Structure 1
């Protein structure tokens, strides 16, 4: 069973964060520079207090005509976070994302932020798992004589 830990082992544990007092404009700059869709919001004590995503920007800033250079992250970040842990299965992670309609989930290990998983990470992992299964089945079929005339 593939777990979140395996995804992080493959993609890396690096994540990007911003202070709650930063502006939305600053957050967008980091997200554009790093080519990411979400930032963890971490306060001065190192505590995860929220997440700011492209979806937050679209729904809370653009649609309401808010100026991103004047808006603080703390006022527009998502604070209801749905998290997983390293031992969560990929299917369990996908279920959280689907049920909660989120595209990014923080990964907490004993309440410590250790990474972030995106829906793209989950899909890529499932694709790789399916490829491996297909290859195994093809080897089995070929070795058993099926498929030969």
Structure 2
């Protein structure tokens, strides 16, 4: 299955914050949208970085509560792993596992086109296993 199929099902909306937003503003966005990561983008199209809940917790532990008033750019991951809509879900699952990332922005023609989470990838794997199981059970009942 291709990443584009996941985006067709879940949509292409991506939460973004500008690099100069404060970490407190970032936390409000995460809480309001009930999500685990946001793409850092100046214009909602290009990717400057990504920030996850884990990033916030780690920086809070390292630097203390002062990070809450600092810009998101001071805690974001600037080397963002991305994929295209034509990427294979199995390949992305391996990448996410090997590099310990849970959110991967999808880029089409240099523009932000969606985001895929580890939950989306696991859901596809479960659906494929259920389809396989049903086929095997059907075969055995013949």
SS in structure 1 of the partner of residue 14 of structure 2 = coil
Moved over 4 A (4+): none
Shift of 1:141: 1.6
Instruction: Name the structure 2 match of 1:139.
Output: 138
Would you say the 8 A contact 1:82–1:100 is kept in 2? no
* CA deviation vs aligned residue, 1:46-83 (integer Å, no higher than 9, x gap): 42110111011011123421324311101111101111
RMSD: 1.4
Higher helix share: 2
Consecutive unaligned residues in structure 2, runs of 5 or more: none
Q: What TM-score, normalized by structure 1, do the two folds share?
A: 0.89
Question: After the TM superposition, which of the residue ranges 75-84 and 53-62 deviates more from structure 2?
Answer: 53-62
Instruction: Name the structure 2 match of 1:36.
Output: 35
Please give the alpha-carbon distance, in whole angstroms, between the structure 2 residues aligned to 1:64 and 1:83.
28
Instruction: Name the structure 2 match of 1:27.
Output: 26
Mark the structure with the bigger radius of gyration. 1
Label 1:18 to 1:59 Cα distance change in 2 as closer, same or farther (>3 A).
Answer: same
Please give the alpha-carbon distance, in whole angstroms, between the structure 2 residues aligned to 1:48 and 1:109.
12
Instruction: Name the structure 2 match of 1:50.
Output: 49
SS in structure 1 of the partner of residue 116 of structure 2 = strand
Please give the alpha-carbon distance, in whole angstroms, between the structure 1 residues aligned to 2:44 and 2:16.
13
Would you say the 8 A contact 2:44–2:112 is kept in 1? no
SS in structure 1 of the partner of residue 69 of structure 2 = coil
Q: Does 1:123 align with 2:122?
A: yes
Label 1:37 to 1:45 Cα distance change in 2 as closer, same or farther (>3 A).
Answer: closer
- Count how many residue pairs are aligned between Structure 1 and Structure 2: 142
SS in structure 2 of the partner of residue 62 of structure 1 = helix
Please give the alpha-carbon distance, in whole angstroms, between the structure 2 residues aligned to 1:18 and 1:112.
16
Label 1:45 to 1:140 Cα distance change in 2 as closer, same or farther (>3 A).
Answer: closer
